[in-house]
Amino acid sequence: MATVEGCLVASTHRGCKALSSSFEGGVNSVILSDGMTRGPVVQFANTKRCNELKQFIDNPENFKELCRVFNSDSRFARLLEVKVGIAGRKAFLRFKCRTGDAMGMNMISKATQKALKFLKNEHFQDMDILSLSGNYCTDKKPSAMNWIEGRGKSVVVDATIPKDVVKNVLKTTVDEIVSLNISKNLIGSAMAGSVGGFNAHAANIVTAIFLATGQDAAQNVESSNCMTIMEKTDNGDLYVSVTMPSIEVGTVGGGTHLDAQKTCLKIIGVAGANQENPGQNAQTLAKCVASTVMAGELSLMAALAADHLVSAHIAHNRKK
């Protein structure tokens, strides 16, 4: 992690310690989906034509043809789906594709341009391509789209921490930390009108790792979308999970070739492209981000809960 905030490292370290004592012997992680997106906007004379474009793309045969064109440009670009949104006579096409171990914005931009030209030249000559990006992607802006549909890697990690580890390592209780998570990360963020910000400080960890590993730090905006959930299990232990639908990372391209950054990637064991299984290095890095975020969440939430525990005890005694 690259940060000038020293206690961020120490704090995350404590969370990691708690997680290493989990019943799972660490952290479980799943990749729900993996695909970079680009959402151009095109325009027709009327909405009827927009709908014909949508029907065309939704047709499996046509989609197969579109994939062929889209994928022809790169060894790694693999079109997964095109989500078509229509506003009046404008159509927004959200292309989603696999991009190997690259974060993939350049790759998808080129392939999308090719696909648009194909659509225009071969099938919809009256289509006016307004812009390669119509903010339907959505890149580096807050949006419900990325929260609901995902962008880059959609990752969930979880673990179950024994109640005595909560007590001895995190210095709080399962009840305290679970209750605070509801008050702050669920209710508090809901009161503030947040979409996707149901966490304590995911952005701190995301930014630190992005800088350390050569990612595009501006993409922190959506990559730090995160919901932290804490629950008391039937046995009284702490179930914790972190859901991050839009982590945008790569292990090739961008700043990943710089010396210091490359060294960091090597330490994690994900430098460069994965030869056997393209995309696996980037996925591992995304899991790494989410796991470290979970450590950071545990530690900060524990600190806040412990403060409350202490002050609540004092208050209780004072009353007597």
Smallest distance from a copy of itself to CB 129, Å: 6
CB of 96 to a copy of itself, least distance (A): 14
CB nearer to a copy of itself: pick between 48 and 275: 48
- CA dist., res. 233 & res. 182, Å (int): 15
Of 142 and 275, nearer to a copy of itself (C-beta) is 142
Q: Is 313 a catalytic residue?
A: yes
Work out the end-to-end distance of the chain between its first and last CA atoms, rounded to an integer number of angstroms: 47
Could you tell me the smallest distance in angstroms from the CB atom of residue 20 to a copy of itself? 17
Residues 166-205 that bind a copy of itself (CB under 8 A): 179-180, 182-204
Residue of 239, 248, 235, 255 lying closest to 298 (CA atoms): 239
Binding mask 56-95 for a copy of itself (x = CB under 8 A): -----------------------------xxxxxx-x---
Taking CB under 8 A as the binding criterion, the range among 96-104, 265-273, 278-286, 309-317 that sits at the site for a copy of itself is 309-317
Nearer to a copy of itself, 275 or 295 (CB): 295
Helix (H, G, I), strand (E, B) or coil at 310: helix
Residues 167 and 173: beta-carbon distance below 8 Å = yes
Tell me the closest approach of the beta carbon of residue 75 to a copy of itself, in angstroms.
Answer: 24
Residues 104-163 within binding reach of a copy of itself (CB under 8 A): 120, 125, 128-149, 156-158, 160
Torsion of CA 42, 104, 152, 68, to 10 degrees: 60
Q: Select which of 17, 90, 140, 308 is catalytic.
A: 140
- Give the residue carrying structure tokens 């905006």: 221
Is 104 or 196 the residue whose CB approaches a copy of itself more closely?
Answer: 196
**What are residue 158's DSSP bridge partners?**
28, 241
CB 264 within 8 A of CB 212: yes
| 81 catalytic residue (yes or no) | no
- Catalytic residue of the set 34, 149, 216, 297: 216
CB 114 within 8 A of CB 73: yes
**Between 151 and 275, CB nearer to a copy of itself:** 151
140 included as an active-site residue: yes
Cβ-based nearer residue to a copy of itself, 75 or 144: 144
Q: Which residues of 69-86 are buried (b: 16+ CB within 10 A; e: fewer)?
A: bbbebbebbbbebbbbbe
CA distance 69 to 114: 7
Closest CA to 143 of 71, 39, 73: 39
Please say whether the dihedral angle defined by the alpha carbons of residues 123, 129, 133 and 135, taken in this order, is positive or negative.
Answer: negative
Site string (213-242) toward a copy of itself, x via CB under 8 A: -x-xxxxxx--xx-x-x-x-------x-xx
* Smallest separation, CB 265 to a copy of itself (Å): 15
Residue 275 CB, shortest distance to a copy of itself, in Å, is 25
Active site amino acids: 5, 140, 216, 313
